[in-house]
Chains A and B, each alone.
Chain A
Amino acid sequence: MSGLQKSPWVIHYDASSCNGCDIEVLACLTPGFDVERFGIINTGNPKHADIFLVTGSVNERNREVVRNIYDQMPEPKAVVALGICACTGGIFRECYNVAGGIDAVIPVDVYVPGCAVRPEAIIDGVVRALGILEVRRAALAADSAAADTMLIQRATAADLPEILAVQKVAFQSEAEIYGDTSLPALRQSLADITADFQRMLVLKGVVNGKIVASIRGYDDGQGTAHLQRLCVLPYFRGRRLGLRLIQAIEKEFPKARRFEIFTGHRSHTNLHIYGKLGYTTFKTEPYTANIQRVYMEKSAP
């Protein structure tokens, strides 16, 4: 029995709840129900939490907030929607400003209906989430071990949402290097990536059925293949997955005489990888005030 099941830390957020469900959550912490005997602590900090308890429905004000808190929780994590408003929107479902339950924004693992949800049901829901967490943790560990057996396949249109999610997570670290979160890779929408998919070849790296890496490329008709948007989930970095993806996509363009790829001037890991594969810098262009794009090329063997 791993630590996760014995020590689930919880973050509790009230999305647009009337506070009825929240009071019941707080009641769980009182001596009457005492969830601390299971090791549950109500930390107010997503970075310390394993389980996200949400009450209330999603509206325009809290949509980004719920997403934000969810993103700031480290894996493995689980979401429990407490109360009928969090599950489906409850009696406010048809209101003009309500987008529905929490699953409109983030994936929910356990739904606990009720109005207001009873403490016993809350505890029951958390215990179910514990089981899910344990499964997820095992999967993560297995993924980590299986990263070396990553499959590289051509992506289909159905993979695009998952690839977009991987792209957004992976490019966060680039944003941190330059302090600029308006990188085009982070701003791309599903429509944009679908348009890209029409004219580019997309490869995906799959581990245990999950997409963990991706790269795109297109031939510009003049003998050069442009490679872009190489992204690898941070959890799987440092294992040559990026290298393998570039090698794979190079093989997909047998007729190209030259390959071109670019990255930011401070992305030393990328520059290092490209250099190892034989790319050399031929052009440096300022892109924004803080970023200069370094273009690298390699002739086809």
Chain B
Amino acid sequence: MPFVCGLALLFTGSNRLRRPLAGLGAAGVIAGALALACPGLPGSVAQLPVSPEAVHRGMLAVEVAISLYLLVVSVRARLPLVGALVLAQAALLLPLELGGAHPAAEVSRYLVLDQLSALLALIIGVIGGLVCLYAIDYMQEFHVTHHPEMRDGRRAFFAILFVFLGAMFGLVFSNVLTWIYFFWEITTLCSFWLIGYKGTEESQRNARRALVMNLTGGLAFAGAIFALAHGGGPLELDRLVAAKPALALLPVALLAFAGLTKSAQLPFSSWLLGAMVAPTPVSALLHSSTMVNAGVYLILRVAPVLQGTAAGLLVALVGGLTFLLTSLAAITASDAKKVLAYSTIANLGLIVLCGGIGTHEAVWAGVLLIVFHAIAKGLLFLCVGVVEHKLHSRNIDDMTGLVLKMPRVSVMLQIGMAGMFLAPFGMLISKYAVLRAVLDSMPLLAVVIVFGSAATLFFWIKWMGVLLVVTQPHANVEKEIGVCKWSALYALSALTFGTCMLFPLLSAHLVEPYVKAQYHLAQFTALGEGNLILMVIMLGLVSLFPLSFLNYGRNVKVADPYLGGANARSGVQFTGSLGDDRDMSMQNYYLSSMLPESKMMSAGVILAGLLLAALLLKVVVP
């Protein structure tokens, strides 16, 4: 129900009014998403208030407007590539939309309201709403305290944010491919605007790169629609998924290609890495929790078609390769946002792997991965944003003593990190399921998962350890964090924990029914009874950990750390060889000589490019 889109489009508010309006908007979004998901899902059509024809015409008009705007941008920024892509897309689709037999006339179901849509709508609504809430305070501080010299574009910022949310809702609820394409392009545009928000040379460069890559994906999408229209195939998603493989494979492969660009898989990963220049709410919303989920959502939707095919295997290989290489690259990163970006791409790679394999177990794992990743990653990005504002640094090594400087935030960071990969939290359940699914279909893929998972362990714990190190007293700077930010952070932390505890319910009511329906299974229990109980026990044990601070070691003797006996007056200094007092300093391993980041990424780009070329060849040449 893109009613939020409407709400958002009204949203060009003024400065003072913005705060309560944005808050209300965020609350409305969350409430709407919850209201949709909770009462029983009919799983099928919902009636449109407006006639389809009018909607089509409206969309066409907006699309033409977007294309013209992008052409202008390409001319002004001297980016022929953008212009070429836009023109190519227009060439493919305009004849379709304007010309004769309007394919949309045969559509019977415009909207889809099944469990997957509901789940994603929940994610978009709740996380999106919370991020917007957080953004209110964050942007205030951003402009007033940190960057007074920058142009205050907050009015447009929030408007675009809500437009984006509306577009995402539209995306997950549409059943017609042309509509999905419409919303897809809107999200591309929003991303372009938001990345370039700061207006600096670097931001604009990265925004343009994002635009080019996402437009390439859009081109593939357009190609898919074109192929379907000319091949006489259905333009509806659900009918496409149920159609014969011979008919559906080419469009589905092209759709998968589009999904790969949107989710920043190799060889398209550089746009997401570059997009980290944007303000943190943008990173949290677009580039970790919601927009990139659009790509993997599409791939998961079409996964049943990819099952067992060589095309599916190639897609899975791209995902797996991405997972492995970006996990290794994350080890070498010391900028917190870069680590988060790499880890996002890695997790999306894992989901793409699930989609490529396409079995019901894999899709189950993939859906759960989306859920847990979105929540935890959103939380982590928001925490990093707060830390950056207070400590003026994004470097991991500067976050020592965070447990003293910002105790609550450091705990939330730890919850987020634990949620990303630790048993018994959700991601681990998903990883377990992925391994199982892989082993049942294509065991060699397990190799990439196994190596990548070892790498993720390293960089998360390295960061978590740095948070705990305390070498000197620090003042607590948490008090200046605003209430909007706190509410968002608390809510997300509670969600991370809550979804892990309630994951059996989640799985039973939302994910398993979807999987059963898609694959026409009578019975499906994803995780055995025993394992579920285990997970709950482990979660319980881990939750006992905070209680340990009650008995804070009364009769222990506190000593200095061992510095070879040369401890100076202060516990963290030692007497150097010339008799002066020197500071102790500790740095982590970044393994940059063993894992040369640029070489690995270049190798990845080439390999993935080859895989994608093979994919296209395979489907185009039958």
Contacts and interface: CB of A to CB of B under 8 A. Distances in A.
A178 B558 contact: no
Interface stretch (A30-38, A87-95, A215-223, A234-242): A234-242
A69 B565 contact: yes
B40 interface: no
Contact of B555 (A45, A46, A172, A234): A234
A66 B565 contact: yes
Given A180-B473, A290-B475, A64 B559 contact: no
Nearest to A291: B473
Interface string B415-439: 0000000000000000000000000
Size range of the chain B interface in the assembly: 10 to 19
Given A64-B575, A182-B569, A235 B555 contact: yes
Contacts of A196: none
B338 to A, nearest CB: 31
A178 to B, nearest CB: 6
B560 interface: yes
Contacts of A181: 569-571
A179 B404 CA distance: 11
A255 interface: no
B555 A237 contact: yes
Contacts of A13: 565
A72 B473 contact: no
A67 B571 CA distance: 14
A238 B472 contact: no
Nearest to B555: A237
Nearest to A187: B569
Contact of B556 (A169, A175, A178, A234): A234
A72 B475 contact: no
Contacts of B473: 178-180, 290
A72 B559 contact: yes
Nearest to B558: A176
Interface string B554-566: 1111111010111
Interface in A162-183: 169, 172-173, 175-176, 178-182
Contacts of A142: none
B518 interface: no
B325 to A, nearest CB: 40
B567 interface: yes
A286 interface: no
A72 B559 CA distance: 6
Contacts of A247: none
A269 B567 CA distance: 28
B566 A65 contact: yes
Contacts of A45: 562
Interface in B313-345: none
A235 B564 CA distance: 25
A68 B560 contact: yes
Given A64-B575, A289-B475, 8 more contacts: A46-B562, A65-B566, A72-B560, A72-B562, A179-B472, A179-B473, A238-B554, A290-B473
27 contacts: A45-B562, A64-B575, A65-B564, A68-B560, A68-B565, A69-B565, A72-B560, A169-B557, A172-B557, A172-B558, A173-B558, A175-B558, A178-B473, A179-B472, A179-B571, A180-B473, A181-B569, A181-B571, A182-B569, A234-B555, A234-B557, A234-B558, A235-B555, A237-B554, A237-B555, A238-B555, A290-B475
